[in-house]
Amino acid sequence: MSSNPINRRSFWGGLASLGVTALLTLAVLGGGRLTSTAHAEQQNLPNPVQSLVAGAPSRDPIALSLSGPDGHQLALESYRGKPFLLHVWATWCGPCKQELPKLNGFLAKNPNALIVPVAIASGDAAKVASFLTQAQDAAISAWVVDKAAFKAWYHAPSLEIPVTLLIDGQGHVRAISDGGLDWGAADAATQLSKVLAHAR
């Protein structure tokens, strides 16, 4: 589990990971594969938030539209001018389920934090909202993203989740962290502020 600037080794897994372990959960991502990171469950400690070190800008500016309950929509272009974290997870992902309670606790204490959690390949927003309610993770917004649109933007055949992307003020990916982040750290909010400040 590592945090890498986007100009280093990609976080996308190869197809050779199929069948390696029962901990890998697979879902189709429009012809590609969406996988839960097996090694995330094998690590004792998550990455610190400050491990999201901004590297060179990469990818086209993010212009995805997210769907929420009751027909609400969120255009990520609305974040232009302010860096944010895009946290990609899924309801069926074991490592995601381990991280969500800590992320929920962080967001409950820091409701204005520039973190956008988004579920992928997990059904519609109502289904995701129900999952979060049952898990008692009410501070996490039930945003979902269309998997085909996400794949078209990221241009890769597979994605390991959970993954957090640092998006700068122009919409470019600047760093990624595959696996969980340490949202329970006493200084996690301070770390986040520094990470976002370096990606302006």
Q: Answer whether residue 32 shows pLDDT above 70.
A: no
**Alpha carbons 31 and 48: distance in angstroms, whole number:** 33
Q: Answer whether residue 121 shows pLDDT above 50.
A: yes
**Minimal CA–CA distance to 59: which of 176, 193, 163?**
176
Which residues, in sequence order, are bridge partners of residue 177? Answer: 3, 164
Overall pTM > 0.85: no
Share of the chain above pLDDT 70, in %: 77
Amino acid 100 reads L
| Integer CA distances (angstroms), 99 to 9, 41, 60, 89, 93, in order | 23, 10, 28, 10, 10
**Alpha carbons 53 and 78: distance in angstroms, whole number:** 23
Please report which helix (H) or strand (E) contains residue 4, including its range.
strand 3-5
Query: Which residue shows structure tokens 């990455």?
Result: 47
Weakest mean pLDDT among 11-15, 43-47, 118-122, 154-158? 11-15
CB within 8 Å of 53: residues ≥ 6 apart: 3, 5, 175, 195, 198
**Minimal CA–CA distance to 181: which of 168, 195, 200?**
195
Mean pLDDT confidence for 93-102: 96
| Integer CA distances (angstroms), 22 to 11, 18, 44, 145, in order | 20, 9, 19, 26
- State the Cα angle at 150 between 180 and 127, rounded to 5°: 70
| Residue 19 pLDDT | 33
Amino acid 103 reads L
Task: Please report which confidence band the pLDDT of residue 33 belongs to, taking 50, 70 and 90 as the band edges.
Answer: low
**Alpha carbons 83 and 86: distance in angstroms, whole number:** 10
Q: Answer whether residue 61 shows pLDDT above 50.
A: yes
Decide: 167 and 83 in contact? Cβ < 8 Å.
Answer: yes
Share of the chain above pLDDT 90, in %: 69
Please report which helix (H) or strand (E) contains residue 74, including its range.
strand 73-75
**Alpha carbons 4 and 113: distance in angstroms, whole number:** 22
Q: Answer whether residue 39 shows pLDDT above 70.
A: no
